Amino acid sequence: MTEAPPVAGERPQPARKFYGRRHGKALRPAQARLVEDLLPRLAIPGAARQGDPARAPVDPAALFGDDRPVWLEIGFGAGEHLAHQAALHPGTGFLGAEPFVNGVAAFLGKVEARGLANIRIHPGDARDLVELLPPASLSRVFLLYPDPWPKTRHRDRRFMSPENLALLVRAMAPGAELRLATDIPDYVAHALAAVAASGFRREERDPATPWPDWTRTRYEAKALREGRTPAYLSFRRA
Ligand SMILES: C[S@@+](CC[C@H](N)C(=O)[O-])C[C@H]1O[C@@H](n2cnc3c(N)ncnc32)[C@H](O)[C@@H]1O
């Protein structure tokens, strides 16, 4: 196999490992239509996997047509929160990354129903997108109910790893906020240790109280039904 040309300054690398699900049950016809017709219009050009020849730097100003603030949601699931934020902040550009196609399809339904025009989607691993963004280009990042990977031997699969935080530190502007919601107490401890060793500081806030512009995600509803307690943490990029 021939090796793909690297993005400027990037060493050729094999596609990175993603441990989650990319596909669930078959899409309904209306969802399949959205994935076929709407997704290509909202997909971020260049945001391809490592090793893919289509991979190229991503310019948010070109995506949104101006230099508006840009916020990213990592692993948006069915997109309840992303759609809510995009409707609330029409002057902000939203990037959403989600490899699970059924989630992407559900989110596209919300984008269409609400006529949201300030959204671009990466239907893949957020890391492949973040490293293609210009330095200091993100002013807020949401990581909501990341996969908990509870087994000790799977801890290094958690999104809040030193490597992934380093990617975020580079792409986030100084002072930009990273919001984490989780229902797993051990993930809170894990996150606090991980950010302490990176370029973030924890912001003083009551972790039991959601942010004022919060909306419940599908995963949060499930966590509450099952008796788990959410924690809402904010970190600032130094
Ligand atoms: C537990 S679900 C939570 C979904 C949603 N945030 C919610 O609160 O309902 C975690 C999501 O993160 C996504 N995910 C996992 N690793 C990811 C990665 N590297 N980049 C983007 N999304 C990822 C999964 O596909 C999954 O949809």
Of the candidates 52, 59, 147, 186, the residue annotated as catalytic is 147
- What are the DSSP E strand ranges found in the chain? 70-74, 93-97, 119-122, 138-144, 172-182, 200-202, 231-237
In a domain, 6, yes or no: no
Amino acid at 98: E
Q: Which CATH number goes with the domain that contains 79?
A: 3.40.50.150
**Is 156 one of the annotated active-site residues of the chain?**
no
Judge if the beta carbon of residue 76 lies within 6 A of ligand 1.
yes
Bridge partners of residue 71, in order along the sequence:
94, 140
Above 80 in pLDDT, residue 2? no
pLDDT confidence of residue 107: 98
Residue 78 covered by a domain: yes
Reported as a single tens digit per residue, the pLDDT across 71-94 is 999 999 999 999 999 999 999 999
For the cut 90, the answer to whether the pLDDT of residue 15 exceeds it is no
Q: Measured from the CB, is residue 97 less than 6 Å from ligand 1?
A: yes
Atom 12 in ligand 1: residue holding the nearest Cα: 75
Q: Is residue 19 part of a domain?
A: no
Query: What pLDDT does 10 receive?
Result: 62
- Provide the domain count of the chain: 1
Cα 1 to ligand 1 centre (Å):
31
Give 8's pLDDT tier (boundaries 50, 70, 90). low
pLDDT tens per residue, range 194-236: 998 898 999 999 999 999 999 999 999 999 999 999 999 999 9
Q: Is residue 13 part of a domain?
A: no
Tell me the backbone φ, ψ of residue 138, rounded to 5 degrees: -105, 135
100 lines ligand 1 (CB under 6 A): yes
Which residue range(s) make up the domain with 40? 29-237
| pLDDT tens for each residue of 16-62 | 788 888 998 999 999 999 999 999 999 999 999 888 999 999 999 99
